[in-house]
Structure formats: structure tokens, C-alpha cells
Homo-oligomer: A and B are copies of this chain.
């Protein structure tokens, strides 16, 4: 099976690539495990190829038709469309957000449609599609009301994916991801960047700014579970999805105070004290509009699961990144 990952040089793209290469197979539409024969990693920067002969790295702007035409052919049976402009950047640069989060997503769908081979497409959406007056636990039939351009663009792409699937142009599935924490590496322009930073930086012996109140409730998913969910979501039988291709992935609902308490539990008080509380209205407004929890019944019935506790998530991060807590 030939696989394409857009955003293949990104953190999730690289983790997913590594996992697919290790597993070596993906189930096809008939539920039969097929060997991963080619893995195209497309991004604006050159992705790592892990020295694996199955990997082909491609550098290009996915908002350009010829780039997608080169990346997708009639043998591309699996597409993980992860490329995106993150929330804070899409708010700061409206045109760039529209170009990548909306136009490129549509171009990808249209490229598939023109090829006519109906590939399976996994698209990652976000808590940011919700907003406004929300119930304590968002339901599957709760209306979307994004309060950021990023959220609006993701919601639009969801609608496109549903309609292209309904019409038989693709076999799409949208996975609405909780906020991913703990991400390794550096802070990014996502409004939720702090949700990883306040754990990652203190564990690395550095201070971290928390721009929201401790009572702010977040809906989180670990990178490990995110990758597991992307693959499980890909392998779901189309019949069980029907005409509702969007799945709210299981997460855990924790307040920022509870996150800090978990950090203290795992790494000690000296580490937790490295968090500096410095409210930022811009971040609070965006993050505060997101749901702190959503109903996960449908995803769980389909066999998808989230993390157990946030302390476990931190331990998983320490383990994955081989961090020596000091």
C-alpha cells in the first residue's frame, strides 16, 4: 500500500511515519493487512527519511496543484493529511491560514477526485471547531461555532471531507484531536503551545510561561495515543462511519492546576516551580472558547481510546524522549 503523509516533516507526521515503518502494514478497505510499500513524506521542508528505502521525501507547497499532483497518483491508497497552519498563526496571518488550511485541503480532495481511485483520507481536526456557549460535555450533535479562523477553516475542511466522501470521491475520515500534550521540541505559534511547554520546559530545567488561569480546563491527548488513533481511524470500516465521517477522539479533561499537580507528582516540586504564571488575554480568549471535554461514546464503541491519567502522559513523554528529570 502506498501512503502519503502531508506535514510529513512535522512532529506528528514523523511519529506516524516511524510507526507505519515499524508496523510495516496497514489494513485495506477489506480489512486485510497490506504491506506499506511506499511512504511519501510531503512538507515545505525536507522530512527525515529514517534511512528507509520505502520512504520518499518531497518538498513543496501543498497549496500548489502540481505539488499534490506529484504526490498523489492512482496507487496512493492512503493519505494522512496533517499539514496545517496552527491556530495562533492562522489568526495572525489570515491569508496564509486560508491558503493552507482551506485551499490546500480542497486541492488535495480535488486531486483525489480527479484521479478517480477513491483513496482513504484521514484528516485531523481540532477542539477549535467548537466555541461560544458550550455544554460542560460537548455532544456529537453539538453545533460547531469556531471562535478563531483556524477553527473555522478546520470546520470547513470537515464539511468538504464529509461531502466528498458522501459523493464517493474519497473514503474520508475526520479525527477531531484533543490538544496534543506533551509535544517535544520547541514552542510553536499554536495558542495551545503552553499545554506542552509548561510540562516540557520545566522537565528540561527551564522556566515556562503559563498564559492562562490554573482553572482553565483542557481536553488533552498524548502523542502516543494520537498516533494510535490516526492508524485506528484509518483502519475503521467505512460502513460503520456511514455519512458522518467526523469522530471526536477520546481525551482526558484536566485543569491546568491538575496538570501542574501531575508534574509535581511525577517530577517533584522543584520542577513544577519552574512555571511562571503570566496571563495573555489573546491566548485565554482562544483557548477559553474550546471545550474542556466531549462525549467519546462513539469513538470508544469503534475501539478508539485515550489516555488514563495526565501523570501517565508525562511519564510516557519522559520515556519517549529519554529525559533525565533533575
Residues of A within 8 A of B (CB): 94, 131-133, 140-147, 149, 152, 155-156, 159-160, 162-163, 166-167, 243-244
Contact = CB atoms under 8 A, between A and B. Distances in A.
Contacts of A155: 159
Chain A interface helix/strand/loop/mixed: loop
Given A143-B143, A152-B162, 8 more contacts: A131-B243, A145-B243, A145-B244, A146-B159, A146-B162, A147-B243, A149-B163, A156-B159
A18 B144 CA distance: 36
A152 B169 CA distance: 15
B166 A160 contact: no
A162 to B, nearest CB: 7
A32 B151 CA distance: 35
B141 A244 contact: no
Query: Copy number in this complex?
Result: 2
A147 B166 contact: yes
5 contacts: A94-B167, A131-B243, A144-B159, A145-B162, A152-B159
A163 B159 contact: no
Contacts of A131: 243
Contacts of A156: 156, 159-160
A148 to B, nearest CB: 8
A243 B145 CA distance: 9
Contact of A244 (B132, B149, B162): B132
A147 B131 CA distance: 24
Most interface-central of A94, A159, A244 (chain B CB within 10 A)? A159
